[in-house]
Every structure is written in structure tokens, then in C-alpha cells.
Structure 1
Amino acid sequence: MIPPRPLSPTPFLMAQGTLGLRPRPRRGAVLLAALLVACEARLARGQDDFGKYSPSSGRFTCELPLDWHAFEEEEPAGFAVHVLGPDDPAGSYRAGIDVHFVDGGRGAPAGGGSSVPAKQAIETLRRSDKLTGRQSTPVKRFAVGKGLARTFEVWETRFVPAELAPSVSQVIHHFVAVIESGDDYYVIRLSSSEEVYVDLRDVFVRFLKSFRIKGA
């Protein structure tokens, strides 16, 4: 059985090609996430089912579905925002968006030295893996504000739910974008089961089109 992956891959894990597997959160975690959204984030209701969001650091703004719940965590090479979306029809994998900010001037965890460059992160995230059947699409450029994101898609097989038994083999799909900001960069991915990823493409596109880096 493939071992469960951590919730939030750091740049050190990215260098090993780990995309991560989001465990299905307990009810208490979902409630806590909702409280954090209200207390620590600025989420304003718009005229449709999306709202504006900014983390407590104010480093970026974006638009998220109003019924998705965001929370933040510190990482050795920056910080991350995790946005919890809906379960798939089988209830085995929860869709979500992960935003990892990588500070080029901070060290990577586990004594890994400086954080890996954006180009290296892209190469390792796209690297084929026989164990998980990972495969990826070619890299494309996508206009984000005044800059460009490098986007691609990844498929890989995992056993889900990771924290419960019995687990079942399931193909997980990731929309991935890497956005550079000077020496720093953001790694953004929307992960879901293969069964529903097409339905979430518009969410990812809307997120990227609305993504703005402070001062950029």
C-alpha cells in the first residue's frame, strides 16, 4: 500500500516530487476552518457565488467559492493557505486549493539549505513516477495580473481515504500553477478526484484570473 502523503508539501517535499494527499478532515477541523475564515481572513460576498479573499499577511488577493473554507499555516520556507472544497460523490476525497508561498531568502526544512528555485519545483512536480503512475501535461503560460503563471496538470494514483481503512485506489487530478514574484514564488494547485476535476476547471481559472500579488 502506498503510504499516506502529508497535507501540505513544503519546498523540501516538492523537490522530491511529492504533490501531497489531502486527508478528509474531521468535523471539528471543518468547523475550526470556518472560524478561521471569519476571524483571520477577509472574505467579502460578491454578486455571485464567489467572494474576495486575502490571507492575514495580505500578500495576495483572489476570489474563492463562498462555500469553500480557507485556513493558513506557517511553513519553514514561507506559508500556505489551504481551501477546503466539496467531497467527491463517493465521499472518499475532498477537493481543495492549496497555495504555497516560497520565500527565496528562507531556508528549506530538514537542513535542506535554501529553497529550491521555481524551475526546479516545476520539474520535480511534473516528474513521472511508476509507483503512483504520475503523469503530467506540457507547461503552458497563463496571464495573471501583470505577470504570467506556468500551468500544467498532473494525474497520480493514491489510496484514499488516507487516514482510514479500508482504503481504495483512486486517481487524483491536480491543476497546478507556479507564479514567480522576484526571488519568491507561489505554487498553487487545485486537487480533486479524477471523476470531478472537469467540473472544477472553471473554479481554477477564476481563481488564477483573480489572483493578485501585493505590490506586483
Structure 2
Amino acid sequence: MNTEWLDSLTTAAIFTPSVIMSDIFFGIGLVVTSILCWNYNSDKNNSRQSNFLLTFLGLLVGWIIATLAIPFNPVDRQLYSGIGTALGAFFSGYLISKLDGVWSLVIFKSPDKTSLNIESLQFLAFFVTGMALSSSVIVVNRTEWLSIAFQCNPTLYGADLKKDSFILADKALCDKLRLPMPKETQLSKQ
């Protein structure tokens, strides 16, 4: 039986207990959130579509934030730091100042701000849930992969760490992940 396609899918995959658990919790969280999106306020016009849309947007935003927060190597770090700085400046400055007035209109039902708009809070909850789901699974998967990559090539993946904190890696694992491995980091077969 030809399993090359399966090997190519799992080449860069790390199956540690924390990765497996985070992926399982992500799947469970996505199913539960989808059920809530389907059922919550489904009798109102376009509420179901809005629930799914905001959850999906939350997933995308969480994925982007996690990817920018945990770069794979110094090249990514340099590239992402500029992008992250620009996005951070945009969100913290311009966008927040523009949303300040809109925020009160969306969250509160009445102009005197005495009652909350529950539907708007529901949409916000779906967005934040999507962000939390995707960012947590991305952070766990990237950090686990980076811990192995650091062992295989500390000069590339551990540029910010002290030289004496290097851990020797298994060459077979580094070969499986297709990570270059300098001779000084290879385990000696004794």
C-alpha cells in the first residue's frame, strides 16, 4: 500500500501530548461554537449567518495574532515585527478612536445607556470565542514545533537564547521534519 501521501501530510507534524490535547479541545470548541451559532437567536433575521460570520472573523483574527506573536525564525521575526507594529499602531490609535462613539451605540439599546443590547454582546462573544480558539491552538502547535526545531538547529531557531542552553536533538526526528542540523547539535551514537 502506497503511503507517501500520508507521510507528506505528517512530515512537519509534531504529535506531542500538548499538541494532541490542544487540537482535540479546538475541535470540540469549534463544534460547540458551531452548535451555538446555529441555535442561538436563529429565529431572528440573519442572526445565524452573523453568528457564523463573526466566529469565522474571530478565528481569522486569532490566527493572525498568534502567527505574528510566535514567529518561526529570525527572518519571520523581522518581517512580523514590522507588520505587528503597524497593525498595533492602527488598532490602538486610529481604529479605537473611531470606534469609541460607535461602541456605545452598538452595546447599549437606549441612548441613556441603561440597558444592554444582548444581541450585540452575543456577536462579540462569538468573535472573541473564535479568536481564543484559533490563537490557542496556533500558539501551542507553533511553540511545540519550535521546541523541536530549536533542538535540531539552535543557531537558526534559538538565536535569542544563550549558547549553553542548547539541547542535543535526535537526527532521525530532525530529518523527518526536514530541519537542517549542524554537526555540533547531533547526538553521538555510543
Q: Which has the larger radius of gyration?
A: 2
TM-score normalized by structure 1? 0.26
Task: Choose between structure 1 and 2: higher helix proportion.
Answer: 2
TM-score normalized by structure 2? 0.28
Task: Choose between structure 1 and 2: higher strand proportion.
Answer: 1
